[in-house]
Amino acid sequence: MSSNKKYWKSVEELNENNSFMIEALKHKEFVEEIPVDEFLGDKDTLESSSTTRRDFLKYVGFSTAAATLAACEGPVIKSIPYVVQPEQIIPGVANYYATTIANGYDFASILVKTREGRPIKIENNSLATSNNGANARIHASVLDLYDSNRITGHKKKGEDSSWTELNNDIVQKLSELKDSSKTIVLLTQTFASPSTSKLISEFATKYNNVRHVVYDAISESPAVEAFENKYGERGLANYDFSQASIIVSVGADFLGDWQGGGFDAGYAKGRVPKHGKMSRHIQFESNMSLSGAKADKRVPLTPTQQKVVLAKLYSKIVGSAVSGILPAHIEQAVDKAASELIKAGSNGVVVTGIQDVNAQSVVLGINEKLSSKAFDPSTIIKTRLGNDKAVTKLVADMKSGTIGAIIMSGVNPMYTLPNASDFAQGLKNVDLSVAFSMKEDETSSLTDYIAATPHYLESWGDTELTKGQFGLIQPAIRPLFDTKQFQDALLLWNGSNATYHDYIKRNWEENILNGSSWNQALHDGIFVGNGSNSESIEDTVEDLERTTLNINAAARNLASATSNGFELTLYPKTGMGDGQQANNPWLQEFPDPLTRATWDNYLTMSEADAKELGLFLEESTFFTEARHDADGGLNGKYANITVNGVTIKVPVMVQPGQSKGSVGLSFGYGRTLGLKTEMQTGVNAYPLYTNFNTVQNITIEATSGKHKFACIQLHNTLMGRGDIIHETTLEIFNSEDHRKWNPMPQVSKDHKMIDVTSPGANLWNEFDSSIGHHFNLSIDLNACTGCGACVIACHAENNVPVVGKEEMRKSRDMHWLRIDRYYSSEDTFINDDEKKDDSKGLGNTLIAFAELENPSANPQVAFQPIMCQHCNHAPCETVCPVAATSHGRQGQNHMAYNRCVGTRYCANNCPYKVRRFNWFLYNGNDEFDFHMNDDLGRMVINPDVVVRSRGVMEKCSLCIQMTQKTILDAKRDGREVRPNEFLTACSAACNSGAMMFGDINNKKDDIVALKDDDRAYHLLESVGTKPNVVYQTIVRNTKEA
Amino acid sequence: MKKSYQSFGDNSINDMRQVTYRNLTTRLLFLGLLFLLTFSTSLFSQDADPVKGKALFNVNCAACHSLDKKITGPPLRGVEAKLSDEQGLDRDWIYAWVRNSPAVLKSGDTYANKIFEEFNGTAMTPMPQLSDEDIDNILAYTATEKVIPPTPDLGTIGATQSVEGGISNEIILGALAILFMLLAIGLYLVNKTLRRFAVAHAVEIPVVEKSTPLWQAFVKNQFLLLVTAIFFLLTSGYFAFGYMMQIGVDQGYQPVQPIHFSHKIHAGDNKIDCKYCHSSARVSKTSGIPSLNVCMNCHKSIYEYNGETTAEYNKEFYDSEIKKLYAAVGWDDDEQQYTGETQPVKWTRIHNLPDFVYYNHSQHVTVAGLECQICHGPVEEMEEVYQYSPLTMNWCLECHKKTNIKTEGNAYYTKIHEELSKKYDLDKFTVRDNGGLECGKCHY
Q: Which amino acid is at A303?
A: P
Return the pLDDT at B29: 53
Return the pLDDT at A34: 60
Per-residue pLDDT band at B162 (split at 50, 70, 90): very low
- So what CATH class is A221-381? alpha beta
Closest-CA residue of chain B to A960: B444
B159 lies in some domain: no
- For the segment A601-610, the average pLDDT, to the nearest whole number, is 90
Q: Of A505-514, B133-142, B314-323, where does mean pLDDT reach its minimum?
A: B133-142
> How many Cβ pairs closer than 8 A exist between chain A and B?
158
Among A604, A599, A614, CA closest to A709: A599
Q: Of A491-495, B39-43, B380-384, where does mean pLDDT reach its minimum?
A: B39-43
- For the segment A630-648, the average pLDDT, to the nearest whole number, is 85
* Binary contact (B291, A85; C-beta < 8 A): yes
Domain boundary among B94, B119, B142: B142
- Higher confidence at residue B67 or residue B228? B228
**Residue from A769, A770, A771 whose CB has the most chain B CBs within 10 Å, to mutate:** A771
pLDDT per residue as tens digits for the range A150-183: 999 999 998 999 999 999 999 999 988 888 888 9
Nearest Cα of chain B lies from the Cα of A60 at a distance, in angstroms, of 20
Residues of chain B positioned with their CB less than 8 A from the CB of A972: 283, 362, 366-367
* Binary contact (B423, A771; C-beta < 8 A): yes
* Binary contact (A961, B444; C-beta < 8 A): yes
Return the pLDDT at A505: 93
Q: Is A965 buried (19+), middle (13-18) or exposed (0-12) by CB count in 10 A?
A: middle
- How large a percentage of chain B has pLDDT more than 70? 84
Which residues lie closer than 8 Å to A47 by C-beta, 6 or more apart?
none
Residues of chain B positioned with their CB less than 8 A from the CB of A64: none
Which residues lie closer than 8 Å to B332 by C-beta, 6 or more apart?
B326, B338, B339
Q: Which amino acid is at A730?
A: L
Closest CB to A975 among B294, B411, B420: B411
Per-residue pLDDT band at B37 (split at 50, 70, 90): very low
Among A368, A431, A425, A408, CA closest to A231: A368
* Binary contact (B330, A83; C-beta < 8 A): yes
Helices and strands of chain A, counted as H and E runs: 33, 43
Return the pLDDT at B2: 38
pLDDT surpassing 90 at residue A619 = no
Full-model pTM: 0.83
Angstrom CA distances, B142 to A148, A355, A605, A850, stand at 63, 89, 95, 107
Crossing angle of helices A420-429/A388-400, nearest 10°? Answer: 50
pLDDT surpassing 70 at residue A20 = no
Instruction: Give the residue extent of every domain in chain A.
Output: 155-219+386-528, 221-381, 563-711, 717-817+867-1036
pLDDT surpassing 60 at residue A772 = yes
Nearest Cα of chain A lies from the Cα of B404 at a distance, in angstroms, of 15
**Residue from A953, A963, A972, A999 whose CB has the most chain B CBs within 10 Å, to mutate:** A972
Does the domain at residues A155-219+386-528 carry the CATH identifier 3.90.228.20? no
Whether the CB-CB separation of B251 and B389 falls below 8 Å is answered with: yes
Under DSSP, the state recorded for A277 is B
Under DSSP, the state recorded for A511 is I
**Residue from A82, A773, A921, A938 whose CB has the most chain B CBs within 10 Å, to mutate:** A82
d(CA A810, CA A423): 41
Residues of chain A positioned with their CB less than 8 A from the CB of B344: 80-83
d(CA A609, CA A603): 12
Closest-CA residue of chain B to A966: B412
Which residues lie closer than 8 Å to B259 by C-beta, 6 or more apart?
B321, B324, B325, B328, B345
Residues of chain B positioned with their CB less than 8 A from the CB of A895: 439-440, 443-444
**Residue from B278, B357, B418, B439 whose CB has the most chain A CBs within 10 Å, to mutate:** B439
Residues of chain B positioned with their CB less than 8 A from the CB of A894: 438-440, 443-444
Return the pLDDT at A622: 46
Nearest Cα of chain B lies from the Cα of A820 at a distance, in angstroms, of 26
Nearest Cα of chain A lies from the Cα of B426 at a distance, in angstroms, of 13
SS3 A606: coil
d(CA B265, CA B305): 10
Tell me the residue range of the domain where B430 lies: 393-441
Residues of chain A positioned with their CB less than 8 A from the CB of B432: none
Closest-CA residue of chain B to A971: B412
Closest-CA residue of chain B to A78: B348
pLDDT surpassing 80 at residue B217 = yes
Closest CB to A71 among B247, B352, B412: B247
pLDDT surpassing 70 at residue A704 = yes
* Binary contact (A93, B291; C-beta < 8 A): no
Residues forming beta bridges with residue A823, ordered by sequence position: A8, A861
Return the pLDDT at A73: 65
Residues of chain B positioned with their CB less than 8 A from the CB of A953: none
Domain count, chain B: 2
d(CA A648, CA B182): 103
d(CA A669, CA A416): 10
Domain boundary among B83, B118, B142: B142
- For the segment B364-377, the average pLDDT, to the nearest whole number, is 92
Residue B439 Ramachandran class (φ > 0 left, ψ -120 to 50 alpha, else beta): alpha
pLDDT surpassing 60 at residue A587 = yes
Per-residue pLDDT band at A769 (split at 50, 70, 90): confident
Return the pLDDT at A648: 92
Return the pLDDT at B149: 54
Crossing angle of helices A328-344/A357-370, nearest 10°? Answer: 40
* Binary contact (B441, A964; C-beta < 8 A): yes
pLDDT surpassing 50 at residue A836 = no
Residues of chain A positioned with their CB less than 8 A from the CB of B348: 76-79
Q: Is A327 buried (19+), middle (13-18) or exposed (0-12) by CB count in 10 A?
A: middle
pLDDT surpassing 60 at residue A1016 = yes
Q: Count CB-CB contacts under 10 A for residue A673.
A: 17
* Binary contact (A944, B329; C-beta < 8 A): no
Residues of chain A positioned with their CB less than 8 A from the CB of B426: none
Residue A643 Ramachandran class (φ > 0 left, ψ -120 to 50 alpha, else beta): beta
- For the segment A979-1007, the average pLDDT, to the nearest whole number, is 92
Asked if domains A221-381 and A563-711 share a fold, the reply is: no
Return the pLDDT at A42: 67
pLDDT surpassing 50 at residue A482 = yes
Q: Which amino acid is at A206?
A: K
| Strand A566-571 versus strand A695-708 pairing type | antiparallel
pLDDT surpassing 50 at residue A723 = yes
Per-residue pLDDT band at B27 (split at 50, 70, 90): low
Q: In what order do the strands lie in the sheet with A246-250?
A: A297-300, A280-285, A246-250, A348-352
pLDDT per residue as tens digits for the range B94-122: 888 888 888 888 887 888 888 888 777 77
Arithmetic mean of pLDDT over chain A: 86
* Binary contact (B293, A84; C-beta < 8 A): yes
Establish whether this prediction's ipTM goes over 0.85. no
d(CA B224, CA B222): 6
Q: Is B184 buried (19+), middle (13-18) or exposed (0-12) by CB count in 10 A?
A: exposed
pLDDT surpassing 80 at residue B424 = no
* Binary contact (B440, A896; C-beta < 8 A): yes
Closest-CA residue of chain A to B346: A80
Per-residue pLDDT band at B3 (split at 50, 70, 90): very low
Q: Which amino acid is at B208?
A: V
Residues forming beta bridges with residue B376, ordered by sequence position: none
Exposure of A319 in the CB half-sphere (CA atoms within 13 A) = 3
Residues of chain A positioned with their CB less than 8 A from the CB of B292: 81-84
Which residues lie closer than 8 Å to B417 by C-beta, 6 or more apart?
B405, B407, B429
Residues of chain A positioned with their CB less than 8 A from the CB of B250: 74
d(CA A486, CA A500): 9
Nearest Cα of chain A lies from the Cα of B387 at a distance, in angstroms, of 14
Angstrom CA distances, B442 to A163, A400, A867, A918, B236, stand at 49, 68, 21, 21, 34
SS3 A924: coil
B195 lies in some domain: no
Does the domain at residues A563-711 carry the CATH identifier 2.40.40.20? yes
- How large a percentage of chain A has pLDDT more than 70? 87
Residues of chain B positioned with their CB less than 8 A from the CB of A82: 291-293, 344
Angle at A157 between CA A153 and CA A160, to 5 degrees: 30
Q: Is A543 buried (19+), middle (13-18) or exposed (0-12) by CB count in 10 A?
A: exposed
Return the pLDDT at A560: 79
Closest-CA residue of chain B to A84: B293
Return the pLDDT at B328: 92
Whether the CB-CB separation of A1025 and A872 falls below 8 Å is answered with: yes
| Strand A375-381 versus strand A348-352 pairing type | unpaired
Report the range out of A17-26, A226-235, B141-150 with the highest average pLDDT.
A226-235
Residues of chain A positioned with their CB less than 8 A from the CB of B410: 971, 974
Nearest Cα of chain B lies from the Cα of A71 at a distance, in angstroms, of 8
pLDDT per residue as tens digits for the range A281-298: 999 999 999 999 999 999
Q: Is A45 buried (19+), middle (13-18) or exposed (0-12) by CB count in 10 A?
A: exposed
Among A89, A83, A84, CA closest to A476: A89
Return the pLDDT at A542: 43
pLDDT per residue as tens digits for the range A110-123: 999 999 889 999 99
pLDDT surpassing 70 at residue A620 = no
Closest-CA residue of chain A to B435: A889
Closest CB to B438 among A80, A90, A889: A889
* Binary contact (B348, A888; C-beta < 8 A): no
pLDDT per residue as tens digits for the range A843-854: 443 444 444 445
Q: What is the C-alpha R_g of chain B? A: 35
Per-residue pLDDT band at A1 (split at 50, 70, 90): very low
**Taking the alpha carbons of A136, A142, A148, A153 in that order, is the dihedral positive or negative?**
positive
**Taking the alpha carbons of A161, A163, A165, A168 in that order, is the dihedral positive or negative?**
positive
Which residues lie closer than 8 Å to A524 by C-beta, 6 or more apart?
A98, A125, A127
Among A568, A605, A610, A603, CA closest to A698: A568
Q: The CATH number of the domain where B37 resides is what?
A: 1.10.760.10
| Chain centre distance of CA A137 | 6
Return the pLDDT at A8: 67
Per-residue pLDDT band at A973 (split at 50, 70, 90): very high
d(CA A460, CA A452): 15
SS3 B7: helix
Return the pLDDT at A652: 92
Closest CB to A974 among B253, B286, B411: B411
pLDDT surpassing 80 at residue A742 = yes
* Binary contact (A892, B329; C-beta < 8 A): no
* Binary contact (A946, B355; C-beta < 8 A): yes
Residues of chain B positioned with their CB less than 8 A from the CB of A961: 358, 444
- How large a percentage of chain B has pLDDT more than 90? 31
Domain boundary among B116, B142, B168: B142
Q: Which amino acid is at B43?
A: L
pLDDT per residue as tens digits for the range A177-230: 888 888 999 999 999 999 999 999 999 998 888 999 999 999 999 999 899 888
Closest CB to B291 among A83, A967, A971: A83
* Binary contact (B440, A976; C-beta < 8 A): no
Nearest Cα of chain A lies from the Cα of B410 at a distance, in angstroms, of 5
Return the pLDDT at A479: 93
Q: Of A13-17, A68-72, B30-34, B305-309, where does mean pLDDT reach its minimum?
A: B30-34
Return the pLDDT at B25: 54
pLDDT surpassing 80 at residue B126 = yes
Whether the CB-CB separation of B95 and B103 falls below 8 Å is answered with: no
Q: Which amino acid is at A980?
A: N
